[in-house]
Each structure stands twice: as C-alpha cells, then as structure tokens.
C-alpha cells in the first residue's frame, strides 16, 4: 500500500513538473512609438486618451487579419512596446487632423513613427483663469479645412487626462460655422461656475482643458494643454 502511494505521488509530481513548461511561441519583442506632430508648428497635437483617435495596425501575412488598435496619450504621443516584429499597415482612425494615407511600416525592435499631419483646428492664445471659483477660458481658433467648426467646450476633470470623454463637468457652445481664416477672428469665452457644480468640490485640485470639434465624419476634438487649478 505504501509503495503504491509513493508511486502515485511520484507520477503526479512528475506530471505537474512536466506540465509547467511554456509553449514554444516567442513573446512579442518589437514595438511602435512616436508622436503626432503639427506640420506647420512642429508641436505635438493633443488627443483624448479614451474614445479618441486610434492607430489601426494590420499585420501582414494573414488572410482575414483582425486589426489591432493603439490609443494615444493625452499629449499626442503613443507607444506599444509589445508588438510582434512584422510588416504592418498603419492607419490613423477617428482623427482630429486631416486624414492621411495608409503607411506600411516594418516594425522590428522599437520602431519610431512620427505622424506629421495638419490638425483640423488650432487653439491659439488659450488662457484659463479663475475668479471667485468661476473658471473662465478665453481663446481664438484657426482652422485648416473648409468646413464648419461644430462646437467648442471647456472640460473639467480630476487629472490631466481630462477631455470631452473624461470629464466631471463640461461647458459647451455650438459654433456650426467656419472660423478664422474663413471668418473674422473672434475671441471665444467659456466659463464654468464651480459653486453650482456638484462634482467640483471647493478646495480640490482640478484640470481644465479647452476643446474644439470640427465637423467631419468621425472627427475628434482638438485641444489646448490642460491647466491645473486649485479651487
């Protein structure tokens, strides 16, 4: 009986040791990183971290390839350091800049890819100030296309990832018209009264960001950098 017990223990332990071996597949060891840059000013074009633009990657060598999607950081950079080394078709979707052609990128090791594009809207002279817990933002706009600017907004959030999707409070205005240079330059003013907002607690730190949305299919917001304000 003892012998049988030991044999059983031996077999099960052998079995469990053998089963711990990993499969023979290689881990992904390549990556893609880069920035979205304004073709005129060379600055980063800010994005939304969720529900914002995406970079679609289609790997070569598969018949019905399932596309992968990369998100951007709020500041306009992106990085995915765990991709399989291969040739990819890269295409930015849901952009806040004029669409560009699909790129074919050979990703091996950490590959840099900068997108130099023309943003739909540039937010110029942004200024966010607070007086008596009323936050006021003033700015001017400049568009690069021929369509309308749909709306503008001031978004308040708890961290620097604030945007239209990630917000506690918003204050929006519809524009539905072209802005400079097609129309005369105007200064826009939007304000949020923290005293009457349930979600902005006096004494806390919040981030405020100015956004503008262009009227194009699947367009996303263009932003100015978020400003930190202590209420």
Q: Note the residues at the interface with another protein (CB under 8 A).
A: 51, 64, 66, 93, 165, 167, 170, 198, 217-218
Instruction: Provide, rounded to whole angstroms, the least separation between the CB of residue 94 and another protein.
Output: 8
Choose between 19 and 64: whose C-beta lies nearer to another protein: 64
Place of tokens 């049988």: 4
DSSP state string for 11-33: HHHHHHHHHT---SPPPP-EEEE
- Residue 112's nearest CA partner among 36, 35, 43, 33 is 33
Contacts of 160 (CB under 8 A, 6+ apart): 74, 207, 226, 228
Instruction: Provide, rounded to whole angstroms, the least separation between the CB of residue 15 and another protein.
Output: 33
Choose between 1 and 202: whose C-beta lies nearer to another protein: 202
Choose between 19 and 218: whose C-beta lies nearer to another protein: 218
Choose between 36 and 219: whose C-beta lies nearer to another protein: 219
Instruction: Provide, rounded to whole angstroms, the least separation between the CB of residue 112 and another protein.
Output: 27
Place of tokens 């930015």: 92
Angle, alpha carbons 161-166-170 (nearest 5°) = 115
SS3 8: helix
Instruction: Provide, rounded to whole angstroms, the least separation between the CB of residue 218 and another protein.
Output: 5
């Amino acid at each position: 009986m003892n012998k049988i017990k030991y044999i059983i223990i031996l077999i099960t332990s052998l079995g469990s040791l053998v089963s711990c071996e990993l499969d023979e597949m290689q881990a992904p060891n390549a990556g893609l990183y880069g920035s979205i840059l304004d073709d005129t000013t060379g600055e980063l074009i800010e994005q939304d971290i969720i529900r914002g633009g995406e970079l679609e990657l289609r790997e070569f060598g598969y018949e019905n390839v399932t596309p992968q999607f990369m998100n951007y950081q709020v500041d306009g950079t992106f990085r995915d350091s765990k991709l399989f080394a291969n040739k990819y078709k890269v295409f930015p979707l849901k952009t806040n800049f004029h669409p560009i052609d699909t790129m074919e990128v050979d990703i091996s090791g950490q590959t840099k890819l900068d997108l130099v594009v023309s943003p739909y809207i540039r937010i110029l002279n942004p200024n966010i100030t607070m007086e008596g817990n009323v936050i006021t933002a003033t700015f001017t706009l400049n568009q690069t296309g021929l369509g309308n600017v749909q709306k503008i907004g001031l978004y308040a959030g708890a961290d620097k990832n604030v945007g239209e999707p990630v917000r506690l409070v918003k204050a929006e205005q519809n524009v539905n018209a072209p802005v400079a240079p097609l129309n005369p330059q105007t200064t826009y003013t939007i304000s949020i009264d923290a005293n009457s907002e349930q979600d902005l607690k006096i004494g806390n730190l919040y981030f405020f960001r100015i956004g503008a949305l262009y009227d194009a299919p699947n367009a996303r917001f263009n932003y100015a950098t978020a400003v930190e304000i202590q209420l």
